[in-house]
Amino acid sequence: MKCNLFIILIIFTLLAAGGCNLSNNNEEKPEDMAQIESPVFSLQAGTYNEDIFVELSCITTDAIIYYTTDGSSPSSASYVYTLPIPITGHGTLMTINAMAAKEGMTDSESVSAGYSINYELASPPTFDPPGGTYNSDIEVVINCATEGATLYYTTNGDKPGITSMVYEDPIPLQANTTIKARAIKAGMIDSEVAGADYVISCAPPVFSLPPGTYDGPLNITMSSTTDDAIIYYTIDGNTPTTQSLEYTGPVIISGNGLTINIMAYAVKEGMGDSAVTSAVYSIPLEGIYVDIGNSSGIEDGSYTNPFTVIQDGIDAAGTNETIFVAPGIYMENIILKSNIVLQGAGAEVTTIDGSNGGQYARVIEIPDGYYHDITVRGLRVTGTCYKGIANGGNYSTMHLSAITIHNNIFEGIGYYDNHYSWEGLAIHLFVIDNSTFSNNRIINNPEYSMAIVRGQDITIVNNVIADNYFGLNISDPLAGTIYIKNNIITGNEVRGVTLNSASFPPPALSYNNVWNNGTANFFNCSQGTGGFSSDPLFRDPENGDYHLTAGSPCIDTGDPDPAYNDINGTRNDMGAYGGPAGE
């Protein structure tokens, strides 16, 4: 029995050993240990404009990740990854090298990713209103396009920073100020410093009266809405300075015929000077006023309610009174009287046209009888009629004295191509003495230009007598002398200067340019001292411009007596624009 058990034990042992060998023959042969997957970065390598946090992960469970940030290769001695790796601060550069390890497995391949931080620049602040000059207190709003930025500012010129004032509400400005501001936001580069200069000027002075023309004395006050501002002013049109008159009370303007240009500005310490306020005030001359443009329906001859008809002004004028005629074309034939001045606004702008009076009408008539102390100036006299300015036809009753015809244009007078003796004369005055004809342009008259009959003690000076049928005619002069000087007489179809009879006393001619006049420049007389005959070189005579061009022989060649000097003090220029009463 014991033997059987022993045999069974041996057989079982052999079977067990045989089974083990059989099992080993059926299993695969073991290989090398597996390699761990490499770590994965949560963010791709690259440049970021804000702070970032990089997470590392590995798909191998329980793997330990090791990393470096100094460029060295990672190992089990490197940092163990537990939390996201911060990469912060503008300009930061970081390269993360990482590997994963696990016991019983081969370490992963090392992986690498480079990161850089490059913050965005905060937008610079802007100002509303922008820098500039303002005439009153203002409030400045500071804006920034970068949402969430804190705005720091200064008002003393210093560069702003985090210790400066924080902008919260509009900044009130009452004086000259420079504002500087910058925007600061975490995670962004501080903005550039923005600046704006504000000049808070004094409010300009305000005058109590608007500019214009007024009757009577004026009392003008000035004020500025800027408290305690000082006002300086001038009354001669010059720009005021702190050396000018200081305003302390009303400016009083009195007197007739005055024109005052007041210019004023306000100043105050710590503020910019105000703009200059200017106003021109006029007090008209005493006289009768005529303005064809008056449509008010009220006419009393005052400056504010002028007559619209020149003759009404003449009739209303008293002794030694002036009739002021405004610009316009007056279709009238007027009759003068003694002791008046008929004053146009200028021969280029104030016209009396006598065409409506008919062929035998005079534009301006001085009746038969004794008339004296009459001045006509600043008018253009024209019309297809008998004569421009003339007295009546009764030699036995007419007498003119102290007649002044100055700075007028006589043009286009007469019925064309008639050439009837003494008809169509621009100026035709009989029995005249102690009178002056100066600075007139007697031009383009199809008949005669100017005739003086039975005249004495007459001065004909600084006129242009050009492009008429006849030029200047003197007939039957009386005992006194007729002076003819500093004139330009040219382009007249028949003659320049005519003395109707060689038996008449000759006029005194001197310093005239008499040139290119039809059949003769002179008839029964000669040019006299200082005279010559040469092209005067007018600027544009075809269009009525008889100014002298540079190089004209008539410049500085008139009478050298200083009494005849031009208005600028130089020697007399011949023609209508020279002499003490010229331009």
Q: Which of 463, 346, 465 is nearest to 411 (CA)?
A: 465
Query: pLDDT tens across 98-127, in order?
Result: 999 999 999 999 999 999 999 999 999 999
| pLDDT value at 16 more than 70 | no
Question: What pLDDT was estimated at residue 422?
Answer: 61
* Per-residue CA distances from 473 to 34, 55, 416, 495 (Å): 138, 119, 19, 9
| Mean local confidence (pLDDT), 186-214 | 93
> 475-478 — which CB contacts under 8 Å span 24+ positions?
475/451, 475/500, 475/501, 475/504, 476/500, 476/501, 476/504, 477/452, 477/504, 477/505, 477/507, 478/433, 478/454
| pLDDT value at 551 more than 90 | yes
Exposure b/e, 196-217, CB count within 10 A at least 16 = b: bebbbbbbbbebeeeeeebeee
Query: pLDDT tens across 274-293, in order?
Result: 999 999 999 988 999 999 99
For 206-283, the fitting CATH number among 2.60.40.10, 2.60.40.1180, 2.60.40.420, 3.40.50.1360 is 2.60.40.10
Spatial contact of 364 and 352, defined as CB atoms under 8 Å apart: yes
Q: Model confidence at 21, in pLDDT bands (50, 70, 90)?
A: very low
The alpha carbon of residue 7 and the mean position of all alpha carbons in its chain are separated, in whole angstroms, by: 136
Question: What pLDDT was estimated at residue 206?
Answer: 97
Question: What pLDDT was estimated at residue 128?
Answer: 97
What type of residue is 240? P
* Per-residue CA distances from 2 to 8, 9, 11, 139 (Å): 10, 11, 14, 122
Task: Evaluate if pTM is beyond 0.85.
Answer: no
Q: Does domain 121-200 have CATH number 3.20.20.100?
A: no
Question: What pLDDT was estimated at residue 266?
Answer: 96
Spatial contact of 95 and 71, defined as CB atoms under 8 Å apart: yes
Q: Model confidence at 15, in pLDDT bands (50, 70, 90)?
A: very low
Q: Is the peptide bond before 204 cis (omega within 30 degrees of 0)?
A: no
- Residue spans of the domains in the chain: they are 40-117, 121-200, 206-283, 320-556
Q: Model confidence at 8, in pLDDT bands (50, 70, 90)?
A: very low
92 or 10, higher pLDDT: 92
* Per-residue CA distances from 431 to 36, 392, 526, 561 (Å): 139, 11, 24, 29
Question: What pLDDT was estimated at residue 319?
Answer: 96
Quote the mean pLDDT of the chain. Answer: 91
Question: What pLDDT was estimated at residue 421?
Answer: 59
The whole-angstrom separation of Cα 177 and Cα 155 is 6
Q: Where are the alpha helices (DSSP H) in 193-332?
A: 310-316
| pLDDT value at 65 more than 70 | yes
Numbers of helices and strands, H then E, in the chain? 2, 53
Question: What pLDDT was estimated at residue 54?
Answer: 97
| pLDDT value at 18 more than 80 | no
| Mean local confidence (pLDDT), 179-200 | 94
Question: What pLDDT was estimated at residue 479?
Answer: 77
Question: What pLDDT was estimated at residue 137?
Answer: 87
For residue 145 the two structure tokens come to 């396009």
Topology of domain 40-117, per CATH? Immunoglobulin-like (2.60.40)
**5: part of which helix (H) or strand (E)?**
helix 2-26
Question: What pLDDT was estimated at residue 394?
Answer: 74
Spatial contact of 409 and 433, defined as CB atoms under 8 Å apart: no
Question: What pLDDT was estimated at residue 419?
Answer: 60
The whole-angstrom separation of Cα 327 and Cα 300 is 18
Q: Which of 572, 568, 578, 537 is nearest to 557 (CA)?
A: 572
Question: What pLDDT was estimated at residue 416?
Answer: 62
| pLDDT value at 499 more than 80 | yes
> Does 121-200 match 206-283 in CATH topology?
yes
The whole-angstrom separation of Cα 357 and Cα 413 is 12
Query: pLDDT tens across 335-378, in order?
Result: 999 999 999 999 999 999 999 998 889 999 999 999 999 999 99
**390: part of which helix (H) or strand (E)?**
strand 387-391
